[in-house]
Amino acid sequence: MSKQTVKRRTVLDLQKMKESGEKISVLTAYDFPFARLMDQAGIDVILVGDSVGSVVSGYDTTLPVTMEEMLYHTRAVVRGSEQALIVADMPFLSYQIDETEARRNAGLLVKEGGAHAVKLEGGVNVADTIRTIVNMDIPVIGHIGLTPQSVHRMGGYRIQGRAEAQAQQLLADARAVADAGAFAMVLEGIPAALAKEITETVSIPTIGIGAGVDCSGQVLVIHDILGLCDKYSPKFVKRYADISGTIRDGIDAYIREVKDGVFPAEEHSF
Ligand code: KIV
């Protein structure tokens, strides 16, 4: 029997979804099993976020994440998925030095990682970088507002765009990202009214995280929605499950059975 081919989401599908008003669902994944589960559930886009640094590697910020780490996680996610569009984050220092390095690193995420698109943080300041990557025919998602790679400039993970001048700057950033050829942009940690205005201003889809309900779609970190990360939970996270307890119960039971000589039983032995 021939294997049924599954059609992957494309950047064109996301544009159509914005136009038709269908919301775009995005989650992060960093490995094969999570990618497989969310792909089977029908997620539109999987983001291999540099949040991997915080929720998987245990760093305090996303800044230490390297290209090698992003390539490793992107390959695993691509192998675990059939129908979702896979977007790989460009880690800190992979696109800020110069355009040649930015082009090479974006290319590596597609060529060696297997990603279908890349994401990078910034607005007006990275518009030329977005343009040069788009000119290589690599689709780019922008990311403005609370941009975690700018944690030290922002003085912490603070909501952006509350003051009028900051809001105007974010509108300029959104226009610059769209004009540079990005096919979508993440709006993180900004007031809902500003996210609505940006979504109505630019023609490309906006993907919100802590940016209200009027964005074209939503993204969250998988570890946050499943209760797998107890380090810090921002207000914008909704917990849809609490699997830490289930995991701990399983591990407790295993340790007990090993100590008591109950595992392995006869059916597990040869
Ligand atoms: O790294 C990441 O996971 C992200 C999303 C939270 C937008 O950039």
Locate 255 and state its tokens.
Answer: 């340790």
What separation in Å is there between the alpha carbon of 246 and the centre of ligand 1?
26
| Structure-token pair, residue 204 | 């490309």
Q: What are the domain boundaries of the chain? A: 11-239, 243-270
Mean pLDDT of 66-93: 98
C-beta of 51 in contact with ligand 1 (< 6 A):
yes
219 pocket-lining for ligand 1 (C-beta < 6 Å): yes
Query: For 204-208, what is the mean pLDDT?
Result: 98
Whether the full predicted model's pTM is greater than 0.75, yes or no, is yes
The SS3 of residue 50 is coil
Residue 58 has pLDDT above 70, yes or no: yes
- Give me the mean pLDDT over the 102-119 stretch: 98
Query: DSSP readout, 167-224?
Result: HHHHHHHHHHHHHTT-SEEEEES--HHHHHHHHHHSSS-EEEESS-TTSSEEEE-HHH
Residue of 136, 219, 148, 211 lying closest to 181 (CA atoms)? 136
**Catalytic residue positions, numbered:** 188
- Count, residues in the chain: 270
pLDDT at residue 233 in the model: 80
What's the gap in Å between 152 CA and the centre of ligand 1? 17
117 bridge partner residues: 87
Query: HSE on the CB side for 87, CA within 13 Å?
Result: 31
Amino acid at 138: I
In ligand 1, the atom with minimum distance to the C-alpha of 47 is 3
Q: Is the pLDDT of residue 115 over 60?
A: yes
Q: Which CATH superfamily is domain 11-239 in?
A: Phosphoenolpyruvate-binding domains (3.20.20.60)
